[in-house]
Amino acid sequence: MSEKLPNMLDSTIQKIKEMVDVNSVIGEPISTPDGVTIIPVSKVSVGFGGGGSDFVNKSGGENPFGGGVGGGVKVTPICFLIVKDGNVRMMPVAQPANTTADRIVEMVPDTIDKLTSYLDSRKDS
């Protein structure tokens, strides 16, 4: 097999390393005027693959090679670390609901608050 495929994979891995560094996971701290520091934290997913083949060259000489390599990077925000007066608090980033059941579960607290407010206003009347 040709040495071209490993070279293509090495080149793709190097490009992914250039795109993803520690700042992709732990972002640059953001300082506010009132002394709060906010640090973004993300999850990085990386995938790549490749394949190729040497073809038979009937006329002699070096066999021709055909192949390809692809890769992708996905950065998903997870939370923010909030540093204030020496205390650290984590504020998670809410993931969007994927299913109807997830949406219903997200709506329950707000619905209960509205129902409680309504019942309280009826008691006062």
Phi, psi for residue 34 in degrees, rounded to 5: -90, 15
109-121 burial: b if 16+ Cβ within 10 Å, else e: eeeeeeeeeeeee
Nearest one of 48, 52, 49, 47 to 5, comparing CA atoms: 52
Q: Of the candidates 5, 1, 8, 20, which has an alpha carbon nearest to the alpha carbon of residue 74?
A: 20
- Find the mean pLDDT for residues 84-109: 81
Q: State what percent of residues in the chain have pLDDT above 90.
A: 16
pLDDT range class, residue 37, cuts 50, 70, 90:
very high
Q: What is the pTM of this model?
A: 0.52
Percent of the chain predicted with pLDDT > 70? 90
Residue 5 reports pLDDT greater than 80: no
Q: What is the per-residue pLDDT across 70-93, written as a single tens digit (0 to 9) for each?
A: 777 888 888 999 999 989 999 888
Would you place residue 47 in the very low, low, confident or very high pLDDT band (cuts 50, 70, 90)? confident
